[in-house]
Structures are given as structure tokens and as C-alpha cells.
A = this chain, B = another copy of it.
């Protein structure tokens, strides 16, 4: 059994969903593991990870919009307000989605459905550099 650790960086420019499927696939191609598990963790608590439809950009707009209505950026609602009106909502949205994805690799291919893509869901309004740890374990 082999294990490979790496980090993929994503630059975000405000709230929204950022597709990183190709970055992960390009990284995977270079690794000498045929079958295994790929554990992806986002090392932040104000951005998160989701698997979502990769076809219609309106889906991404609606997702961002839904979460902004569900978790309003309104300081009157929260005690934790010192880091900006978007910070506490970001933590809540992170709890409602995922910090991590555990994916299966078979024959060097990522097992995803045809319409599935990997997305970083940025919840902060300013730009950020986000670290996605990639840990591949297999043969």
C-alpha cells in the first residue's frame, strides 16, 4: 500500500462555487496508484466542499443564493461579528455542507457520476487562497 500527500491551492474571488475537478484529475494522473481512496480536506472553516452538477451554471448561482438567504449576513443575528458580517454565516454554511470528501479511485479513474463535479464553496466575500489537502492511499 502506498500513500501520497499533496496540497492543491485554489484562489477564490468572493462567494460562489469553484470547480476543481480538473485540478484533482490532473494531479491524480501523475500518481502511481491505480486503485484507492482519495481523501480531500479543506483546511478552513469559512469555505467548504460539495459535489454538484457540472452542467448548468444557474445551479451554482441558485446554490449560492439559497445559502445566502438561509444564513443571512446580518450582524444582528450573531454574537461572533468581529471578523465581518460574512464570517459567522460562513462558519454556519460550512457546517451545513462538507469539510471533506472521500472519493474512490478505480483503474486510475475518479468514480464520479457523469454530472458530478468537485466544487469549493467559498463563503467569504473577499478573495482568499484556500488549501485543499489531497491524500491518496492505495495500490
A3 touches B95 (CB 8 A): no
Q: A102 in the interface, Cβ–Cβ < 8 Å?
A: yes
A59 touches B88 (CB 8 A): yes
Task: Give complex CA distance A101, B42 in Å.
Answer: 12
Task: Give complex CA distance A111, B39 in Å.
Answer: 11
B37 touches A137 (CB 8 A): yes
Chain B residue with the shortest CB-CB distance to A98: B98
Chain A stretch 45-101: residues in CB contact (< 8 A) with chain B: 45, 50-53, 56, 58-59, 61-63, 66, 70-71, 77-80, 82, 88, 91-92, 94-101
Chain B residue with the shortest CB-CB distance to A107: B5
Kindly list chain B residues whose C-beta atoms are within 8 Å of the C-beta of A35. 3, 5
Q: Interface on A for B, CB 8 Å cutoff?
A: 1, 3, 5, 35-37, 39, 41-45, 50-53, 56, 58-59, 61-63, 66, 70-71, 77-80, 82, 88, 91-92, 94-104, 106, 111-116, 121, 131, 133, 135, 137-139
A sample of 29 inter-chain contacts (CB < 8 A) reads A3-B36, A3-B138, A3-B139, A5-B35, A5-B111, A37-B135, A37-B137, A41-B103, A41-B104, A43-B111, A43-B113, A44-B116, A45-B51, A45-B116, A52-B91, A52-B95, A59-B80, A59-B88, A59-B91, A61-B79, A61-B80, A62-B78, A63-B92, A95-B121, A96-B96, A96-B97, A98-B98, A100-B103, A106-B135
